Amino acid sequence: MLDKVWADHEVGEGLLYVDLHLVHEVTSAQAFEGLRLAGRPVRRPDRTLATADHNVPTGPGDPDDLSRAQLEALDRNCAEFGVRLYALGHRRQGVVHVIGPELGVTQPGMTIVCGDSHTSTHGAFGALAFGIGTSEVEHVLATQTLPQRKPRTMRIAYVGTLGPGCTAKDMILGTIGQIGTDGAAGHVIEYAGDAIRRLSMEGRMTIANMSIEAGGRAGMMAPDDTTFAYLDGRPGAPPDFDAAVERWRGYASDEAAVFDREVTVDLADVAPQVSWGTNPSQVAPITGAVPEPADETDERALAYMGLTAGTPLRDIAVDRVFLGSCTNARIEDLRSAAEIVRGRRVSEGVRAMVVPGSAQVKAQAEREGLDAVFQSAGFEWRGAGCSMCLGMNPDILQPGERCASTSNRNFEGRQGAGGRTHLMSPAMAAAAAVTGRLADVRELVA
């Protein structure tokens, strides 16, 4: 699949054409400034789409001065260079990796870049999508191309069936636990197997999203009827949709495709996962215990997390719950969490919040009454943004606070200096909210 998309976009030796460039406020200001200084225009504003997400407030109150300056810079830059912007308050605003797919501008066979490492999300549609730095953002704005060397390929094949209570998040956390945070370094991953084909687009996006947490350059999945049904009728979908589908079908890897590396993940071994450390490979099944440290990295992680080897994971109490991020804040994620929350209350002393992935996800959830489910249980119901996934806005953990989070990174300080993050699925985070500790969601759905 990588070969086909690559061949289709090679302008010439080592130069790749970019079909869609997504832009946000945090990694673009210096790039636009570079264009301005050099007197360069944006080559293809029609292939460039901007939104404000990383640094926007999701609750009442105004952004601080620096944040406001950054958001205003995005407004100014998009106006000056003719780039379409869905700013804070727009009905289409949201986390950049949520809105691309929901608008239908993310399509199979495309090359998609964005100044954000979780751009890999869009690979769920059979696109080649990867994160870039600010200098490359400037390069794409100016030329609509990127100097690129073709990465190696790696197929991750899932065998077996996903057990009850397990989700796409558990599949990818289990996979990273198996191959490590640099297990896919230098490679584009292709996720394969019946378990992938059975997933919804939301589930597929959760998996592709975390490709970078295994070090992967990108993650791709073959486009199929699920992909096409998701895109049909969306505003950005091609007008001649049937012809597009015919073309898109051709991007799937051929039977005889050869990969530089092959990995098999047996889903029979995957139970609902939670992370216990400070990188996403430090995960364990919820039925397990905090492991004995294997090396210095593990020792540092346990010290930072305030955990002792041998402690059952289900004995770990949480202070905060965060349901959000480009990994798990789509409508299906909110539905699966709401199912656990319905008729229950957030545990005494726990502060829980839901941050929908986009203004459209929020509106959809409200039409379904999910906001009432969450709010009557004691969750805060917020506006769309990256929020506490990276804690640039005021949504952060206090030092020592422990959080059950549906996001993608449990790095030290990621959600706030001294904060302790446990990664898990939306249903597992909901279970943690209502029990006040890391909990096995399977015991709540009996």
Is 132 near other proteins (CB under 8 A)? yes
| d(C-alpha 299, C-alpha 8), whole Å | 47
Of 73, 3, 94, which Cα lies nearest the Cα of 360? 94
Q: Using the rule CB under 8 A, give the single segment among 28-36, 325-333, 352-360, 364-372 that binds other proteins.
A: 28-36
| d(C-alpha 56, C-alpha 66), whole Å | 11
CA-to-CA separations, 139 to 35, 59, 77, 145, 161, in angstroms, rounded: 9, 35, 16, 7, 44
Is 143 near other proteins (CB under 8 A)? yes
| d(C-alpha 400, C-alpha 419), whole Å | 5
Is 420 near other proteins (CB under 8 A)? no
Q: Whole-number minimum distance, CB 132 to other proteins, in Å?
A: 6
Q: Whole-number minimum distance, CB 391 to other proteins, in Å?
A: 6
In this chain, which of 4, 6, 45, 224 binds other proteins, going by CB under 8 A?
45
Instruction: Report the residue number, 12 or 310, with the smaller CB distance to other proteins.
Output: 12
In this chain, which of 121, 123, 129, 138 binds other proteins, going by CB under 8 A?
138
Is 364 near other proteins (CB under 8 A)? no
Is 101 near other proteins (CB under 8 A)? no
Instruction: Report the residue number, 20 or 373, with the smaller CB distance to other proteins.
Output: 20
Q: Using the rule CB under 8 A, give the single segment among 18-26, 199-207, 253-261, 340-348 that binds other proteins.
A: 18-26
Instruction: Report the residue number, 11 or 79, with the smaller CB distance to other proteins.
Output: 11
Instruction: Report the residue number, 135 or 287, with the smaller CB distance to other proteins.
Output: 135
Is 107 near other proteins (CB under 8 A)? yes
Binding residues for other proteins, rule CB under 8 A, total: 77
In this chain, which of 5, 52, 244, 346 binds other proteins, going by CB under 8 A?
244
| d(C-alpha 4, C-alpha 398), whole Å | 47
Task: Return the residues of window 366-395 that contact other proteins according to CB under 8 A.
Answer: 390-392
Angle at 210 between CA 218 and CA 124, to 5 degrees: 60
In this chain, which of 160, 163, 193, 236 binds other proteins, going by CB under 8 A?
236
Instruction: Report the residue number, 40 or 197, with the smaller CB distance to other proteins.
Output: 40
Of 385, 418, 425, 383, which Cα lies nearest the Cα of 401? 418
400: left (phi over 0), alpha (psi -120 to 50) or beta: left
Buried b / exposed e along 43-72 (16+ C-beta atoms within 10 A): bbbebbbbbbbbbbbbeeeebeeebeebbe
In this chain, which of 1, 2, 5, 20 binds other proteins, going by CB under 8 A?
20
In this chain, which of 116, 332, 333, 395 binds other proteins, going by CB under 8 A?
116
Is 446 near other proteins (CB under 8 A)? no
Task: Return the residues of window 276-335 that contact other proteins according to CB under 8 A.
Answer: 279, 295-297, 300
| d(C-alpha 439, C-alpha 98), whole Å | 28
Q: Whole-number minimum distance, CB 181 to other proteins, in Å?
A: 5
Is 23 near other proteins (CB under 8 A)? no
| d(C-alpha 430, C-alpha 272), whole Å | 13
Of 126, 151, 357, which Cα lies nearest the Cα of 224? 126
